[in-house]
Structure 1
């Protein structure tokens, strides 16, 4: 059965970007530090058309995330900040549904990526992504606002946080102002290397807040 998952790198103090992220500085100042664990992995290098790289457990975990996914959901902020750095062949190679308030035509890129712009909110984007995924999983990649909206709406079956041992101090905070009082997200799996802790959580183990 297809699942809706979320997958994102986050600092120890809860940020998914550095400060002052913008289209000119997509990850914020020093935000690349949150993704440094990925860049030399063989699975990531293959995805962006490069040879070689490290064949480590981190690489296997990254590949596990890719292997079952048939479509992605992202927010308009992530799209606006990433469009130029991703270039003509973005690393998704799948349909990507962008949650936005602005209707736009489908944008097709090389390598199988196509961006579809959904104006009906996160639930509509996830629903369309599930259809496009054809029985495979849908991965919500960010940014923080879209992930929080999916969590509040009870749309997520699994959350994977790649916790990087760094204090960013500022930026876009992942779980900023999550309403509804305390909420349990039981841990289902933990693995780590020197660079990152991979933490899987089950957001549906308890009822979503009312």
Structure 2
């Protein structure tokens, strides 16, 4: 069976995956952009932005791994956009413009139905209203044997971890303090849930840790 994987999920030293006061103009919250300073210069990100140059090394290696053998994505609704409650219309089409970086089916968790959204480059957003397990089943079917990547945010990651559905999680700990925001592991006991650290690699801008579910 395909794996459910989390990659390049950046958190602060005090455990926050986004800063406080998230908004349309500040989707990562106050100070949240600094979480991703390790990722933004990498060749992987720069190519996603249409550029050819970018850094190589440890950070690039982890960034690139996140796209290897991925056939579908799952996102929490906040990762798709800032709209809350029922969709007022179909005008919001994501943060990324008409050609998002996914290039495969993406399943967005929401409480409010919306028709699927076809984008350029092979990305199709499907809006799933019947829970995390249904979204994973749909994503695995769409992935056709490849793995599924879970993009977040923090609340969505916690739901999948608590259900022991995540096979592998790469977190990048950035050397900053946010003080408040979206705490990734709030109220969780990862060892009790069957998770253990299987890889630990420091770089100049981050500490990369892989947590895997024990068989």
Fold shared per TM-score above 0.5 = yes
How many residues are treated as equivalent by the alignment? 205
1:167-178 alignment, distance < 5 Å: 167-178=177-188
Instruction: Note the residue ranges of structure 2 that are not aligned, 5 or more in a row.
Output: 83-91
Q: Aligned residue for 2:33? A: 32
Pick which of 46-55 and 124-133 moved more: 46-55
TM-score (norm 2): 0.89
Instruction: Render the CA deviation track for 1:8-61: whole Å, top value 9, x for unaligned.
Output: 111111101111112231111121101111111111111221121112221122
Task: From 114, 125, 128, give the equivalent of 2:138.
Answer: 128
Q: Which moved more, 1:72-81 or 1:134-143?
A: 72-81
Cα offset for 1:69?
0.9
TM-align CA RMSD = 1.9
SS in 2 for 1:125: helix
Aligned-partner Cα distance in 2 for 1:179–1:186 = 11
Give a deviation string over 1:97-119, Cα, whole Å, max 9, x none. Answer: 00100110111111221110000
Aligned to 1:16: 17
Q: Is 1:112 aligned to 2:122, yes or no?
A: yes
Instruction: Label 1:181 to 1:157 Cα distance change in 2 as closer, same or farther (>3 A).
Output: closer
| Structure showing the higher helix proportion among its residues | 1
In 2, Cα distance between equivalents of 1:16 and 1:88: 26
